[in-house]
Structure 1
């Protein structure tokens, strides 16, 4: 981390993952997520991203958000369909809510 690359906050993702928000430049918020083994879209990852966006919006100056993976091989290996189908409320409360937030 450089002097400008200030860590703002860290959020847990499930039992063994994390989301770190840094400020690499003025008004640039970098969200680095690590949700082993391959950053699949599951409830804990979606909820951590939603919370991070809320924190940035409510506690920091307007700017841009950039996302990246802390896992070198994968940005995300996509939707975990088994999790999505077996988790009540996943579609509306996690995945679609995240998509809506990112698009708006």
Structure 2
């Protein structure tokens, strides 16, 4: 394993920072409430490129990726004004990011340090595993409360990752889940009572445990995920019009 120096993206105004400890890469979002824009998603893409190159260059060893935020938010979702005013933002940036995470070649763990709302919730759900604070933060889809549709690709991802009755309440009620309820409803895999540092520590321990699965030969881990989430990835690749006119039928999996 080569020495890795922390790197931030974009270089002129960092929004994300990538570090490494042993087999675990840590991608930290540190842009206030971590809303997604072309710039922030582009920064995440650059960080993911670094991780994938390291995985290939080192011969597909034990490796995993943890993502986290800072302070009150893991991610507050999309910057809606930016998303609506930027042509193909959803297809070329946000949905593409979700697809990439769903099929990432190594295990991914979301260390949910605070709120994960709307697009931030789906970002967390695109990971293989999730660890959340038990005493601070909610995870939810609140689109129903501000009158926005949920794109087919995001709907497909949530439906695949959640139990049917949980998905119903998430989508139709905008129900907020604290850590305890999120664990009870299998939205997250573990909860931690304590600081965001303790959440990150637990997520890192989980990442170390599962990192061995990346060392499976010919990137079997990625191929298995591609089969698991093939229909989701197909929906994520579909064009999306916020009016719903071009999306056709809703995702049915």
Runs of 5+ unmatched residues, structure 2 = 104-253
Alignment of 1:57-76 (within 5 A): 57-60=52-55, 61=58, 62=60, 63-69=63-69, 71-76=70-75
Distance in 1 (alpha carbons) for counterparts of 2:13 and 2:97: 21
Helix, strand or coil for the counterpart of 2:25? strand
Helix, strand or coil for the counterpart of 1:30? strand
Runs of 5+ unmatched residues, structure 1 = 1-5
Greater C-alpha Rg: 2
**TM-score normalized with structure 1 length:** 0.79
Per-residue deviation at 1:50?
1.1
Per-residue deviation at 1:52?
0.6
Aligned with residue 34 of structure 1, among 30, 35, 39: 30
* Alignment deviations for residues 37-76 of structure 1 (CA, whole Å, 9 cap, x no partner): x11111111111111111111134441110011x301111
Give the total of aligned pairs.
Answer: 95
Aligned with residue 20 of structure 1, among 14, 17, 29: 17
Equivalent residues of 1:41, 1:79 under 8 A apart: yes
The structure with the greater share of residues assigned to strand is 1
Query: Which of the pair has the greater relative contact order for Cα pairs under 8 Å at 6+ separation?
Result: 1
Per-residue deviation at 1:28?
0.3
Equivalent residues of 1:7, 1:20 under 8 A apart: no
**TM-score normalized with structure 2 length:** 0.35
Equivalent residues of 1:39, 1:74 under 8 A apart: yes
* Alignment deviations for residues 15-55 of structure 1 (CA, whole Å, 9 cap, x no partner): 6443111113x21000011113x111111111111111111
Runs of 4+ in 1 over 6 A off after TM superposition: none
* 2:45 pairs with 1:50: yes
What's the counterpart of residue 245 of structure 2? none
Distance in 2 (alpha carbons) for counterparts of 1:22 and 1:93: 26
What's the counterpart of residue 3 of structure 1? none
Distance in 2 (alpha carbons) for counterparts of 1:33 and 1:7: 17
